[in-house]
């Protein structure tokens, strides 16, 4: 399992990109090991490259808290303190997913083969020494 697969599994289990992206970010920042200070603007702009709006990050944090995946403490005029409930996330990830789902499928098909060939050719051309 790597970080990309973890994100794909979170998307499949939570069926929501924003929920998965915010939870993945909190896990990446080790909030499952210690309480961390976060700001919605930092998560939105820096961590998620502005792909999720700050208001959406705020709503997602509230939703993840209601779902039991995180604990939140708000300090006045300070960052929000967040801890990930590691056991709850592991319980979620340990639930089986149908093998036909995109994050689980081992299927190959012509588009994927063509894309892989293109990526391989590009990598080879980048490895060629220039004269």
Indicate whether 65 belongs to any domain.
yes
Indicate whether 117 belongs to any domain.
no
Q: Can you give the pLDDT at residue 131?
A: 60
20-31 pLDDT tens trace: 999 999 999 999
104-124 pLDDT tens trace: 888 899 999 999 999 999 999
Q: How many domains does the chain have?
A: 1
How far apart, in whole angstroms, are the C-alpha atoms of residue 70 and residue 88?
9
How open is the CA angle 13-8-34, to the nearest 5 degrees?
80
Q: Can you give the pLDDT at residue 5?
A: 93
Q: Choose the weakest-confidence range: 1-15, 19-33, 41-55, 65-79.
A: 65-79
Indicate whether 62 belongs to any domain.
yes
pTM for the whole structure:
0.87
Inter-residue contact 28 to 41 (CB < 8 Å): no
Average pLDDT on 73-89 reads: 91
The CATH code of the domain that includes 16 is 1.10.10.10
Q: Can you give the pLDDT at residue 88?
A: 99
Domain that holds residue 86: 3-98
Indicate whether 78 belongs to any domain.
yes
Buried b (16+ CB within 10 A) or exposed e, 27-38: bebebbeeebeb
Q: How confident is the model at residue 1 (pLDDT cuts 50, 70, 90)?
A: confident
Query: What single DSSP character describes residue 106?
Result: -
Element housing 49 (H / E): none
């Amino acid at each position: 399992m790597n970080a990309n697969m973890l994100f794909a599994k979170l998307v499949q289990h939570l069926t929501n990109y924003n929920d998965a992206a915010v939870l993945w970010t909190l896990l990446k920042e080790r909030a499952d090991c210690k309480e961390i200070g976060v700001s919605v603007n930092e998560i939105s702009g820096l961590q998620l490259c502005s792909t999720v709006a700050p208001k959406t990050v705020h709503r997602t944090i509230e939703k993840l808290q209601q779902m039991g995946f995180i604990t939140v403490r708000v300090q006045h005029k300070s960052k929000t303190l967040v801890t990930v409930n590691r056991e709850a996330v592991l319980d979620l990830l340990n639930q089986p997913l149908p093998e036909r789902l995109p994050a689980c499928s081992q299927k190959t098909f012509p588009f994927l083969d063509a894309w892989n060939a293109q990526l391989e050719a590009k990598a080879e051309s980048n490895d060629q020494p220039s004269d």
